[in-house]
Amino acid sequence: MKVEKISELTVNRLSVYLRCLNEMRARGDETVSSQALADRYNLNSAQIRKDLAYFGEFGVRGLGYNIDELRAHITKILGLDSPHRIGVVGAGNLGTALANYDGFSPQNFVVVGLFDSDPSKIGKRLPNGVAVSDIANFSLIAEQQKIDIAAIAVPARAAESVLDTILEAGVQAILNFAPLRLKGPPGVKIKHVDLLVSLEALSYFLAGPESAAPDAVLASEMDEAF
Amino acid sequence: MKVEKISELTVNRLSVYLRCLNEMRARGDETVSSQALADRYNLNSAQIRKDLAYFGEFGVRGLGYNIDELRAHITKILGLDSPHRIGVVGAGNLGTALANYDGFSPQNFVVVGLFDSDPSKIGKRLPNGVAVSDIANFSLIAEQQKIDIAAIAVPARAAESVLDTILEAGVQAILNFAPLRLKGPPGVKIKHVDLLVSLEALSYFLAGPESAAPDAVLASEMDEAF
């Protein structure tokens, strides 16, 4: 396997492939061809072959890929062979939704802390057992709970200060939901989940010349899947 | 201005530029160079020039771009010169967070409906005045309220059925938060907000060879900004 850097887009595609492969395995499938994978999940078969070839020869001509081997390999590449522990900062609706989200566990993400500065929220406990902690104790709890990913789910005005708190605690991977672009120092990775960008892409679709042209729309959807 | 289809990634970048320009204008700036825009917001100046040149000649050598002209133009390209009305399906934590989200209005997105099938939720009213309606009435309310974008914020098992309801109502632009890839017919645009893809990219970062190499991380962040 090559160890050079993979592009962010390739990483995102691997993530989607893994989801599809997990689902196929759960249905009892043992092998899959790139074409069958593409057909079933509305993906691009040539892109799948290109992405997977990058990591070595997996497929067997005529048989396709062994699903378990491929899942194990992608899992390792994505660093999902060891569990990640998430601290969510902001116990509003969004932060609470994240802390309650049940789609994480099977993929080795678990929310172990929820933080806020509002005294009326601190101490409350979610149905899944996660309690709201004082953000002032973030560093201490991050160390105790081995938090390696932090999610920022606070209003824009509080986001910079929350980022500082997270960085001081030594957490290097951050998922930001606040509607502004945060910048971290080298060695820190911040992923922005930007709802406005997605909504504005929908707005462009509704307004754009392509909305009248089905073929162009299909091309664009393929684009968007990755 | 060329009317050919712009790629999804370009649309996403325009969306980010617009946010930055709005912020600069709010601070009182009237012109900006691509380099200043890039420096301030951690963007790529060559990419900015390339993206904007695509829509015609905006910049004046030595002076840069007139911020108001550029904002007006990007606003029009993105279809943000007319308001969009959002219906959120799923009145759980995530749906409630979306319906309460205050980052939408200035950019002409307004949540006008929140829907659920749970009788204990139907009729409840959020602080901002949005009430929870019965999903059975989606089509009727979508027409009355002129909903043109629907957000799916329900568990995976309910997502396909909710998508059918939305499509039957004639809504063509959809933001999907459910953790599965939904496929719409031609002429319908579905944007997936996939938290696992973002988390798995962070996991890759934490596991990957690049996490030890600051330069590679910076390159990757630039990649990620778009």
CA atoms of A32 and A100, how far apart (whole Å): 34
Report whether B1 contacts B56 (CB < 8 A): yes
**Which residue from B159, B96, B169 is spatially nearest to B136, judged by alpha carbons?**
B169
Query: What's the pLDDT at A116?
Result: 97
Question: What are the structure tokens assigned to A142, written together?
Answer: 């991050």
The answer to whether B78 contacts chain A (CB < 8 Å) is yes
Query: What's the pLDDT at B145?
Result: 96
Average pLDDT over residues B121-144: 95
CB contacts, 8 Å: A102 with chain B: 155
Query: What's the pLDDT at A106?
Result: 57
Residues 6+ apart with CB under 8 A from B112: B85, B86, B87, B130, B145, B146, B147
Answer whether residue B165 shows pLDDT above 50.
Answer: yes
Could you tell me the pLDDT band of residue B185, with boundaries at 50, 70 and 90?
A: very high
Query: Exposed, middle or buried: residue B157 (CB in 10 Å: 0-12, 13-18, 19+)?
Result: exposed
Do B200 and A80 lie within an 8 Å CB cutoff?
yes
DSSP codes of every residue in B174-205: EEE-SSS-----TT-EEEE--HHHHHHHHHHH
In degrees and rounded to multiples of 5, residue B170 shows phi and psi of: 85, 10
Query: What's the pLDDT at A98?
Result: 86
The answer to whether B128 contacts chain A (CB < 8 Å) is no
Do A207 and B78 lie within an 8 Å CB cutoff?
yes
What's the gap in Å between the CA of B17 and the closest CA on chain A?
Answer: 10
The answer to whether B197 contacts chain A (CB < 8 Å) is yes
CB contacts, 8 Å: B4 with chain A: 209
Residue matched to tokens 């929870």? B132
CB contacts, 8 Å: B179 with chain A: 103
Average pLDDT over residues B199-218: 64
Query: What's the pLDDT at B142?
Result: 98
CA A61 to chain CA mean position, Å: 32
For chain A, residues with pLDDT lower than 70 are 1-5, 55-62, 102-107, 209-226
**Which residue from B89, B102, B221 is spatially nearest to B168, judged by alpha carbons?**
B89
B1-5, B42-46, B88-92, B105-109: least confident range: B1-5
CA atoms of A224 and B6, how far apart (whole Å): 12
Hey, what domains does chain A have and what are their CATH numbers?
A: 8-77 (1.10.10.10), 84-193 (3.40.50.720)
DSSP codes of every residue in A62-115: TTBEEHHHHHHHHHHHTTTTS-EEEEEE--SHHHHHHHH-TTSGGGTEEEEEEE
A107-116, B70-79, B95-104, B156-165: least confident range: B95-104
Could you tell me the pLDDT band of residue B104, with boundaries at 50, 70 and 90?
A: low
DSSP code at position B108: T
Query: What's the pLDDT at A115?
Result: 98
> Three-state SS for B87?
strand
Q: Which amino acid is at A147?
A: I
Mutation target vs A (from B177, B203, B222; most A CBs, 10 A cutoff)? B203
pTM of structure: 0.74
Do A199 and B156 lie within an 8 Å CB cutoff?
no
Query: What's the pLDDT at B196?
Result: 82
Average pLDDT over residues B76-100: 90
Alpha-carbon radius of gyration of chain B = 20
Alpha-carbon radius of gyration of chain A = 20
